[in-house]
Amino acid sequence: MKRDRATNGRLYWIANFLAAEKAATNEYPYDLECYEYRTVDGWKNQLIYECIDDGKDYALFSVGKDGIPYTEDDIHAEKYDFSKGY
């Protein structure tokens, strides 16, 4: 449970950073290299970030406890849109 909370917290802060970048530049960053030290989940697995559609969208998630992407225990980030006030 503690690792889930830590992972959700990291996803929340990164999603907010991404929303701020989108609001400022009208696109999401190509990668998260500048946030490398904070891009691991509660199990020390690297978070998955994919910039999609030339910066218009993204996917951000944790591979969860099993460390395998695209399985039931993956934890996905909620997206935020500062231009809409949330």
Residue 57 lies in a domain: yes
Give the pLDDT score at 33. Answer: 83
Percent of the chain scoring above 70 in pLDDT: 91
Whether the predicted pLDDT of 66 surpasses 90:
yes
- Provide the 8-state DSSP code for 79: P
Q: Are 58 and 28 in contact, with CB atoms under 8 Å apart?
A: yes
> Residue 34 maps to which CATH number?
3.30.700.10
- Name the band, by pLDDT with cuts 50, 70 and 90, for residue 46: very high
| Long-range Cβ contact pairs of 22-30 (< 8 A, separation 24 or more) | 22/81, 22/82, 22/83, 23/82, 23/83, 27/54, 27/55, 27/56, 28/55, 28/56, 28/57, 28/58, 29/55, 30/55
- Domains in the chain, number: 1
Average of pLDDT values for 49-68? Answer: 94
Could you tell me if residue 50 is inside a domain?
yes
Q: Tally DSSP H helices, then E strands, for the chain.
A: 1, 3
Residue 84 domain flag: no
Range of the domain at 58: 2-79
The predicted-structure confidence for 3-44, as pLDDT tens digits, reads as follows: 989 999 999 999 999 999 999 999 999 998 876 667 899 999
Answer yes or no: is 71 within a domain. yes
On whether residue 85 sits in a domain, the answer given is: no
pTM confidence score = 0.85
